[in-house]
Structure 1
Amino acid sequence: MSERPSRMISRPTGLHVVLMLAGVAVIFAIDTFAPLDIAIAALYAVVLIASADFLGRRGILLVCAVCVLQTLLSYAIVHFDSLQSGPVLRALIGLCAIGIATLAALRNRKAAESLSDQAALLDLTHDAIFVRDRNDVITFWNAGAEELYGWPRKEALGQKANALLKTKYLPSAGTTEQLGDSSRWQGELIHTRRDSREVCVVSRWAVQRDERGRPIATMETNSDITEQKQTEDALHHTRSQLEHVTRISTLGELTASIAHEVNQPLAAIVTNGEAGLRWLLRDEPNLKEVRLAVERMISNGRRASEVISRLRALARKSNPSHTVLTLNDIVADVIPLVEREMLSNNVALRLDLQAPAPLVLGDRVQLAQVVINLVVNAIQAMSQIGDRRRLLSITSKRLSEDSNSQLAVLEVEDTGTGIDPKIANNLFTAFHTTKADGMGVGLSISRTIVDSHGGSISVTSGDSCGALFKVRLPVLQQVEAIAATDRPC
């Protein structure tokens, strides 16, 4: 059987060999020349056990053979002319001790080789693996840890892990208090390399406990995800940019509706101002009519201000801000913006909004962008229809999946050309479009926004013709329960 090299067992040095030979020679001399009636040869067992620390299988067997020969040689020199039972028994005891020690040394050697091979496997992985005791002192440090953190094994061993790596816990990782009585933990951490650069890792802990359940050692396996995190951040930034560009593009398409929505209250303000002026210029000013005209001017001014605020919110590039709202609120924000577009395309609107509407948690601007995308797509899908009524139906309702899960559903249905089943699954894919001048990002962004709100969006063919889009968002039941308790009897 071929002998395997071991990383955990020291290679024999000149000092080891000298000490072993000296020990064998001393035992042989005592056994041969000292007038002692004891089994001195049993001391060879000590040499054999010690040799297992730096000799391989063949070396141990060679030392065993030398000890056996020297035991027999010593007996032959001292008792060559006598076969007394005492010396024979002592020789047999020594040989038995040598045999038992050899078996123990071989077994220890095999166990040490097995541990060495397992440790060598940990060096083959690309992950950083290290072990720390209950005092956070590092007791094992593999090659992956050397490569990731930059500290050689000799410098890392004996150091406290948190102090060496300057560990920071990300909010998503929670805290290690969740370990409790468990022996597993996983989360994302920030560690500092030897060159002071920070790396983000997915850390997995396995805790070894004693018979009383107290932790005695922890093996930590860390995978570097720094580049992945940077890529995710860049992707999130790009997606935000694309959402903003699409929103501005959509608002550009709705310029006529926006202008109409703003001009209406402005025109009313002018009309009421002129009327109020006429009432003031009469021989007997009618102050009551003037007051009513001023009140209408103020009301229309506020209406114009609200329209401009909604437009600024849609056009503004900002981080999502989730608040409690309803899908009916979103529809109320969107309809004035698309009203002119519907009129110019001779599209009738049918609203069937459930009241009271279920509450959801969402970003008002992002959800408005989703509804605008769906409504504009529906209007454009009906722009070429001439043989039937162009009808846009918007419905909101509550859907109960089970006793603990309820959804707020918004349906946008048109009577346009419908959806080809072959491409239905691709409609929400980025840059897939059925329009000659389309970018193919509106529905893709809509799905991304709805997914980020914990909901879903789907499309099917309408009841008779056209397409039916459904947006589902989880109902915020806790807020609804609080609102119900606050209602007057």
Structure 2
Amino acid sequence: MAIGFHGLFATHEAEHHDLVFGGLSLLIGSAVFAVDMFTGIEGAVAVLYSIALLFAAQAANRKGLMALSAAFIALTLFAFFFGHGPDPDMQAFLRLVVALASLAVTTALLVRNDEAKAELLRMNSALRESETRYRSIFHGTRVALWERDYSRLRHHLVSLKARGISDIKLHARDNPEFIRDCIQMIEIVAANAAANDLLGATPDHPSNCAMAGYIPPDSAAITEVLQAIMDGASHLEHDAEVISENGETKSVLLSIGFPDDTSAFNRVVVSMVDVTQREEARKTLAEAQAELSRASKAATVGVLSASLAHELNQPLGAIVVNSQTLLRWLAKDPPDLEATRRSAERILRDGNRASEIIKNTRSMLSATPPEAEHIDLNALLSETLTLMEHDLQRERTAVEIIQEEEIPSVPGIKIEMQQVLINLISNAAHAIAAAAAKRRLVTITLKNEHDGEHVLISVRDTGNGLDLEAARKIFTPFFTTKKNGMGMGLSICRSAIEARGGTLEARNHPEGGALFEIRLPKEKADA
């Protein structure tokens, strides 16, 4: 009712305004006509019609003004010919021209002013509609929005830049109170309901009172905001943290669009999207992935335990044999000290190998990966074949090494690389035994790749080769062609090689048998 009464009152007031100015216009026009018609004044009395037009402009529209101006022109002409007859003198005619020109110019100016006023009203109306829509979006959206006044802060930062200060982080480090002072310069013009909800503000204490209590002084985001303002950036997006009323720290995505017009810094729109749950989920996922990785490593070690025991049996068995041999050499009269020394060296070698196997197994469960070494492939292959000598003799399998050029060292973990070679050579020997091949030969080839950056190690057997399913799934975990196999060996071998930047591939050799190829990056000159 109050709104309706106010609108009705405004309508009556406008009607009263039009009646007053319209009446004054007609009254003045009538008076001017009477004076021009019935008096003998020789001046350009009709010029005074312009006053009537000025009053009429307050009440009439453009068409009304033009109609009234035409009426005044007609009255002026009528009075002129009525008073001076068909043959007026030159002075009277000039006064008529002046009066008509005055009416025409006044009418033209008033019409133009009316058009400008109408355009201004349209612009104001469009501006009000735009402001209404903006306010509706501002207050209705569920995105936290603020209008902040950065004008004082910008002026402060511009003055600092004029003094030669360009690095906000460096300046803040040297001036501990700088960030806090800058935050105090930020004034909040308005905030929507979502902004209050984000910060846990209440109607008694809305979030547009001050921003200082909600921004941590050590926030990296506020430093980026200050730097962006100083550099004249047009937009900024940054992860940030805010402190709610209850002291809870929330993660938000901050977005600010800075205006091109520096005078518009008094109303800068700032948005924040609460991503706390997303960040917590991401952190939880990262922790779960790390835990899963450790569990996977532990599972891998469990699967490899049988193979590990076998590998340890080799150096431990060798230590026992060499110890017995050493005792026999010492029991001689006189003792054979040279043979004793050789046995002791072999005991030391096998003991170090057992220690390396255990150390590598522990590193697989550790969060810190072992450091890479410089691996001499020739020495590694020779040591590996020495360790596998008993197994190869049992399988009645010979090993042939083909190397036509010098092979540089490669980066990696020696014990891992040795386990890969043992696995591939052992698989080749088993494949030959399963095929009951007449020619029991494992061929190992070492050569430099054509690209000059990789070394190729190939292991070929004389077995039956890979069938279609095996060729497709050979590196798939838990896939095996052995009756008692677990299907983890080749999968782990490929993972170990790929972790060092290499590749492990399998295919059938054109002349028969399976062929496994390892490509490893060479040692860099500046490594």
Scaled to the shorter chain, the TM-score interval is: 0.5 to 0.7
Q: Which residue, out of 332, 350, 354, partners 1:278?
A: 332
Q: CA deviation at 1:237?
A: 3.1
Counterpart position of 1:344: 394
Cα pair distance change 1:107/1:466, threshold 3 Å: farther
Sort the Cα spacing of 1:342 and 1:228 in 2 relative to 1 into closer, same or farther, 3 A: farther
Matches within 5 A, 1:25-174: 72-76=18-22, 78-79=24-25, 81-83=27-29, 84-91=52-59, 96=115, 99-112=118-131, 115=134, 123=142, 151=200, 154-155=206-207, 158-159=210-211, 163-164=215-216
Judge conservation of contact 2:408–2:522 (CA < 8 Å) in 1: no
Aligned CA distance change for structure 1 residues 151 and 370 (closer, same or farther; 3 Å): farther
Q: Determine whether 1:387 maps to 2:423.
A: no
Residue in structure 2 matching 1:359, options 410, 413, 426: 410
Equivalent runs, 1:367-406 vs 2, <5 Å? 367-399=417-449, 401=451, 406=453
In structure 2, the CA distance between the partners of 1:115 and 1:89, relative to structure 1 (3 Å rule), is closer
Instruction: Determine if contact 1:350/1:393 at 8 Å carries over to the other structure.
Output: yes
The structure with more strand, counted as a fraction of residues: 1
- Output the TM-score relative to the length of structure 2: 0.57
Q: Percent identity?
A: 18
The alpha carbon displacement at 1:384 in A equals 0.5
Q: SS at the partner of 1:383?
A: helix
TM-aligned CA deviation for residue 387 of structure 1: 2.9
Contact 2:326/2:344 (CA < 8 Å) preserved in 1? no
Give the Cα separation in 2 of the matches to 1:265 and 1:320: 29
**Residues 323-342 of structure 1 deviation map (CA, whole Å, 9 limit, x = unaligned):** 23237276566545544433
More off after superposition, 390-399 vs 100-109: 390-399
Match for residue 38 of structure 1?
Answer: none
The Cα of 1:197 is off from its aligned counterpart by 7.4
* Match runs of 1:388-467 below 5 Å: 388-399=438-449, 401=451, 406-422=453-469, 424-467=471-514
Aligned-partner residue type, residue 410 of structure 2? L
Residues of 1 paired with 2:523 and 2:12: CA distance? 83
1:413-437 deviation line (CA, Å, top 9, x unaligned):
3333323345534333344444444
Aligned to 1:323: 372
* Aligned 8 A contact 2:254 2:270 in 1: no
The SS at the match of 2:352 is helix
1:62-84: per-residue Cα shift (whole Å, max 9, x none)? Answer: x8x88975653442354454542
Is the counterpart of residue 471 in structure 1 residue 518 in structure 2?
yes
| Residues 320/419 of structure 1: CA separation in 2 closer, same or farther (3 Å cut) | same
Structure 1 Cα separation of the partners of residues 358 and 134 of structure 2: 67
Q: CA deviation at 1:85?
A: 1.9
User: C-alpha displacement at 1:304, in angstroms?
Assistant: 2.4
Deviation at 1:225, TM superposition (A): 4.2
Taking structure 1 as reference, are residues 73 and 163 closer, same or farther at Cα in structure 2, changes over 3 Å only?
same
Deviation at 1:232, TM superposition (A): 3.8
Structure 1: state its 5+ residue gaps. Answer: 1-12, 26-62, 170-175, 282-288, 483-489
Aligned to 2:317: 263
Partner in structure 2 of residue 33 of structure 1? none
Shift of 1:233: 3.4
Q: Are the structure 2 counterparts of residues 211 and 98 from structure 1 closer, same or farther at C-alpha, using a change threshold of 3 Å?
A: closer
- Write the deviation string for residues 352-394 of structure 1: whole angstroms up to 9, x where unpaired: 466442432x444554554444444434433311134333333
1:252 matched to 2:306: yes
Q: Check the 8 A contact 2:315/2:354 in 1, yes or no.
A: no
Task: Provide the residue aligned with 1:173 in structure 2.
Answer: none
Tell me the secondary structure at the aligned position of residue 307 of structure 1: helix
Return the letter of the residue paired with 2:460.
E
**8 Å contact kept, 2:196–2:207:** no
Root-mean-square deviation (CA, aligned residues, Å) is 5.1
The question of whether the paired residues in 2 share the 8 Å contact of 1:130 and 1:138 is answered with no
Q: Shift of residue 464 of structure 1?
A: 2.3
Task: State whether residues 392 and 414 of structure 1, in contact with CA within 8 Å, keep that contact through their aligned partners in structure 2.
Answer: yes
Any conservation in 1 of the 2:146–2:271 contact (CA below 8 Å)?
yes
**Shift, 1:210, TM fit:** 5.6
Distance in 2 of aligned mates of 1:355 and 1:200 = 57
Higher-Rg structure is 2
Gaps of 5+ in 2: 30-51, 62-109, 155-181, 222-226
Distance 1:234 1:204 in 2: 28
Q: Is the 8 A contact 1:357 1:397 kept in 2?
A: no
Counterpart residue number, 1:313? 359
2:443·2:461 contact (CA, 8 Å) conserved in 1? Answer: yes
Preserved contact between residue 326 and residue 359 of structure 1 (Cα < 8 Å): yes
Q: Quick check: 1:204–1:222 contact (8 Å CA) kept in 2?
A: no
In 2, distance between residues paired with 1:336 and 1:307?
Answer: 12
- Structure 1 residues 433-442 or 134-143, which shifts more? 134-143
Distance verdict in 2 for CA 1:400–1:208, change over 3 Å: farther
For 1:296, which of 318, 322, 342 is the aligned residue? 342
Does the 8 Å contact 1:408/1:472 carry over to 2? Answer: yes
Which residue of 281, 292, 303 corresponds with 1:238?
A: 292
- The secondary structure found in structure 1 opposite 2:332 is helix
Q: Which has the higher helix share?
A: 2
How far 1:87 moved relative to its partner?
A: 0.9
1:431-473 deviation line (CA, Å, top 9, x unaligned): 4444444434433444444444344333222232333333334
CA distance change for structure 1 residues 162 and 351 in 2, over 3 Å: closer, same or farther?
farther
| 1:415/1:465 contact within 8 Å kept | yes
**Cα distance change on mapping 1:332 and 1:164 into 2, 3 Å:** farther
